[in-house]
A and B are shown apart, each in its own frame.
Chain A
């Protein structure tokens, strides 16, 4: 059967083997019967067509969407700010994903950004979200805007002026979106400075109110800018985040004892407070306003102080605080740590970072992160070998301390440590047996060698002399000279009897 089909294969007509396009070259079934050159051309054509179709479809969809939006927007007479943000995000995403499509949509996206500006200039209160998605996005922003306007009311004329300034600033920031994050940060810092100066000098706002107003302004503008300036793609922030996260994960084995943390987690109250501190530091990532992020850090620090105080029964100093904070960061592994630090540094009101309690705790957090990045064997009072072994996961310091840890461990973990112990014991035994087996093998080899050597020595000592074989040996009797003297052999005698 197989033979038959093979033969049929061979007997294919010459024309069937050639390229379908008839260029004279041989075709290949893998290329659908085309030769390599024609296949490439055909394939390209098909792809182009596909892309073209996709574009057309995308364009149609975009047009339909725009029409739909226009019909919902126009009766209200206002382009929603939040909606435009949504739309702009959408276009951003599109352009990011498909660069070719971006070119194609160039004109419409430009129109979109114009619309965004128009939207930004309108009053926020009038906004009505157009789609469910944009409504979701806008809830917080809307609330913050309302709060801000409420807050500004008692300031009368100054309030209006502040509001206008913020609007102008946001608009300007929109134009600066293409610039580097450092320039955007500098611009924001200048804005803070200018507004604070104006509040002081022009509007004669009393100093304690300036501080409050600055907080509100920061809240208002940063809620809006957050999406664009937090962990921007143009920076290495994300990469650093991942690096720190990996580093902290690799350091999972660090115990409070190694860092000399004066916190005893076996006391239930202390471990509660430690959990609270960890929750606070993790929560930082969820906040949008730099000041709220700082508040999370401060709250975390207060919990740490409580924990130290409960353990030591005396007020904690910085000598105790920093190691504990490091321990909390290691234990919590807060998400996007570097991005958050960078974001706060760039966009927080500078007077808050350099001075004040929040600034102090923030600085401590920066120190903690810097320390974790640099952490080595020496800073944990470990030998380099131990450190390397723990880092590579070959050994865990917790295993040796299983007994000390058992208080706060669940049964499963304890069982695991016991098993680990057992395994390591077995491992040791096996190693011992292996060693002994090897030794035995060596002994055997030595013994054989020894015997061979001894034999050799003896052989050397008493060399074997092989004398030529005695020719006379065969005629053993010939040597017998006294043969003749022997009596004649007895002859059988017949006795008649």
Chain B
């Protein structure tokens, strides 16, 4: 019980203190990838560093993180997912309404990249190209001696699919913050483009005002 209240306090303090309301947008980010590729560690590493030791001790599969970029403050909501093969069939429920997806694979396991490809194809079924930002993340860079997936290979695959690619190490904290900052930038860029598009639409056709509003709401 004590732990529980601790968590809620943190959540609210995050909302109030580091996330000034009004200017903030909320983005939902899902972590996808087979089990033990380091999805949780990645999020944990990223959130922990900014929070120092104030991370909740109980749950570690849902994270809130605020990022300040230039003038805007955005809130990232990171949803960790179960990576086991058997839960694959129900995973589509997780990425409903997501703004971004991190496809995590293990650079020392070729197989995990193949899994990531499967996830990508499912995301493509669910979303249009400009509806979601996808980053292919090769984790465990600290084990690069045992590397099975070359940077070249992953980069080329990402290029053919028009998604971003990065390599990180959650363990030794390499490129983790960069990864999430890149994501935040992309999200904000996309959001601004969308807003402009809606404004443009609004100024032209009044009838569509309500529908465009609703669409906006669903994406947040």
Contact = CB atoms under 8 A, between A and B. Distances in A.
B77 interface: yes
Nearest to B12: A208
Interface of B: 3-4, 7, 11, 15-16, 21-22, 26, 28, 31, 35-36, 39-40, 44, 57-62, 64, 77, 79-84, 86-87, 89-91, 93-94, 96-97, 213-214, 217-218, 220
B81 A318 contact: yes
Given A351-B220, A355-B26, A371 B57 contact: no
Contact of A356 (B60, B77, B82): B77
Interface in A275-307: 299, 301-302, 305-306
A318 B58 contact: no
A208 B28 CA distance: 19
A206 interface: yes
Interface string A307-322: 0010000011111011
B82 A318 contact: yes
11 contacts: A208-B21, A260-B84, A302-B59, A317-B60, A318-B80, A321-B59, A321-B82, A322-B82, A354-B28, A354-B220, A374-B90
Nearest to A306: B58
A379 interface: yes
A207 interface: yes
A374 B28 contact: no
Most central of B4, B61, B91, B97 by chain A CB within 10 Å: B61
Interface in A324-356: 350-351, 354-356
A363 interface: yes
B61 A367 contact: no
B217 A363 contact: no
Contacts of B40: 315, 317-319
A302 B39 contact: no
A357 interface: yes
8 residue pairs, one from A and one from B, having the closest CB atoms = A317-B40, A315-B60, A318-B80, A322-B82, A354-B97, A318-B61, A379-B86, A207-B21
A60 B60 CA distance: 65
Given A317-B39, A319-B84, A355-B77, A371 B61 contact: no
A355 B94 CA distance: 11
A366 interface: yes
Interface residues of A, number: 37
A351 B86 contact: no
Contact of B213 (A193, A207, A305, A318): A193
A305 B80 CA distance: 14
Contact of B87 (A354, A357, A366, A367): A367
Contacts of A371: 86-87, 89-90
Given A354-B96, A367-B91, A316 B213 contact: no
A251 to B, nearest CB: 15
Nearest to B58: A305
Contacts of B16: 208
Nearest to B41: A317
Contacts of A361: 62
B90 A317 contact: no
A378 interface: yes
Contact of B93 (A309, A315, A367, A379): A367
Nearest to B15: A208
Contacts of B89: 370-371, 374
Contacts of A374: 89-90
B4 A378 contact: no
A208 B214 CA distance: 21
Most central of B39, B40, B91, B213 by chain A CB within 10 Å: B40
A155 to B, nearest CB: 18
A323 interface: yes
Given A207-B21, A363-B94, A319 B83 contact: yes
A360 interface: yes
B82 A319 contact: yes
Nearest to A309: B58
A428 interface: no
A197 B209 CA distance: 13
Given A316-B59, A360-B79, A371-B89, 17 more contacts: A206-B21, A207-B21, A302-B59, A315-B44, A316-B60, A317-B39, A317-B40, A318-B31, A318-B61, A319-B35, A355-B26, A363-B94, A367-B90, A367-B94, A370-B89, A370-B93, A371-B87
Contact of A305 (B11, B26, B59, B97): B59
A357 B93 contact: no
Nearest to B217: A193
B61 A321 contact: yes
Nearest to B81: A318
Contacts of A366: 90, 93
A317 B217 contact: no
A370 B90 contact: yes
A322 B62 CA distance: 12
A368 B90 CA distance: 8
A37 to B, nearest CB: 64
A200 to B, nearest CB: 10
A190 B26 CA distance: 20
A354 B218 contact: yes
Interface string A253-277: 0000000100000000000000000
A306 B83 contact: no
Contacts of B90: 366-367, 370-371, 374
A193 to B, nearest CB: 6
A309 B31 CA distance: 21
A197 B213 contact: yes
A356 B28 CA distance: 9
Contacts of A315: 40, 44, 57-60
B97 A355 contact: yes
B173 to A, nearest CB: 17
Contacts of B86: 371, 378-379
A363 B93 contact: yes
B217 A350 contact: yes
Contacts of B217: 193, 350-351
Nearest to A326: B87
